[in-house]
Amino acid sequence: MSSSTLRSRTGAGGGVLPIDTLYEILIRLPVKDICRLRAVCRPWRSLLSDPQFIAAHATRHRRPLIVAGHDKSYRDDGILCDIIDLSGRVIKQIIRSTEDEWLISTQGNLACIAIGTTKSCQLLNLVTGDRFSLPEGLSQEHTPRKLDFMNYRASVALGQVASTGEFKLLRVIDNAFFSSRYQQLCEVFTLGGSGDARWRGKKAAQDRVDMSPLSRVVVDGVVYFLLDEDVIHRHVRPKGIASFDLLTEEWRSILRGPVSIPAYHSNLSLAALNGSLVLVHCMLHVSMDLWLLVDFKKSLWVKKHAVEINLSVRDEFLAHPLVILKNGSIVTYIGSRGLLRIYNPRTNTYTDVAEMGSRVGIGLYTGNLLSIANDAT
């Protein structure tokens, strides 16, 4: 930000410190202090709320935040989700607009939420609070098959195409619980696309995909799904992963999992860690292996971490990695305990930093912290 721009924001006039020096001091302060300083006077509020200042501050203060959806069955308090820092402190709370909505996933400043069921979804801007309702019902291409899909569930993934900047949603529609003719459909929606905004029918994956939330993930504009367990057993093949390219809007070849993992092992999930696809292999209540994909064409994986969990044998095992920090520590959500845990692989130790309770749709906020932080006095 130039000196002239800064003077216009602060009401140019001198002061004890030169304006450029004041700017360099302010940009180094943590978000909590910046929010308090916004209340000092109107010129300071104007400066500290300026998009150029927010962007510059974000460059210096990069740290992950967690978006944790509230589980209504666990705590019905009218909150849709919390945005939480790594100490467990709540930065912002999002209020439900209706009683039966819940968080599905996040991408940048956007959250995908379901209204009642996954047949009805909205996109929520976590900064502005704006909402966009996605069309309901099947796409035009799939209308002839509506009798087989009078009732269905959907696995919805939100991602961004790096080369175009477009946000797209992929949904896999499944009638397994509602029809004797078990089928899946695939549809794509482009946010802000030109022309008629609608779901567009696409060819389904060659094998059925797993519909559970932790069996899908978006990495660099590609949506990955674990294959359905019935497919694995029927063909007696190793665990496989289907992938859909949001740019070309086509399914890619089946990716094979690490050969050392038992073919029928069920404690598997997918994660996006620091821009890479990771297969998470949970072994009973003891540990969690993280397998990093290094070569898609060769289905080559490398086991990067073996994270000790050490839960009681009475715990229902549910652990999922969220992000790897710059120092190598791994932030994990222990769902069976409702804990946010940070594991240090160098010392083989962990710290439970927060008790978050039961959560749904837990993910990361990768937008701007100052854009969402509530002002404090």
Q: What is the pLDDT of residues 186-237, one digit of tens each?
A: 999 998 766 668 999 999 999 899 998 889 999 999 999 999 866 544 444 4
Q: Where are the domains of the chain?
A: 19-51, 62-373
Of 10-24, 46-60, 201-215, 299-313, the least confident: 10-24
Q: Is 15 left (phi over 0), alpha (psi -120 to 50) or beta?
A: left
Cα dist. 368→58, 229, 233, 375 in Å?
A: 6, 39, 45, 15
Tokens standing for residue 309: 């969990």
| DSSP letter (8 states) at residue 143 | G
13-17, 260-264, 326-330, 355-359: range with highest mean pLDDT: 326-330
Calculate what percentage of the chain has a pLDDT beyond 70.
82
- pTM for this structure? 0.84
Instruction: Return the residue matching tokens 């004041």.
Output: 22
Rg (CA), the chain: 23
Tell me the C-alpha distance between 240 and 259, whole Å. 11
First to last CA, the chain: 26
For residue 300, the tally of other CB atoms under 10 A from its CB is: 12
What is the per-residue pLDDT across 154-172, written as a single tens digit (0 to 9) for each?
Answer: 999 999 998 998 999 999 9
Q: Does domain 62-373 sit in CATH 3.40.50.1010?
A: no
What is the per-residue pLDDT across 246-265, written as a single tens digit (0 to 9) for each?
Answer: 999 999 999 998 877 765 55
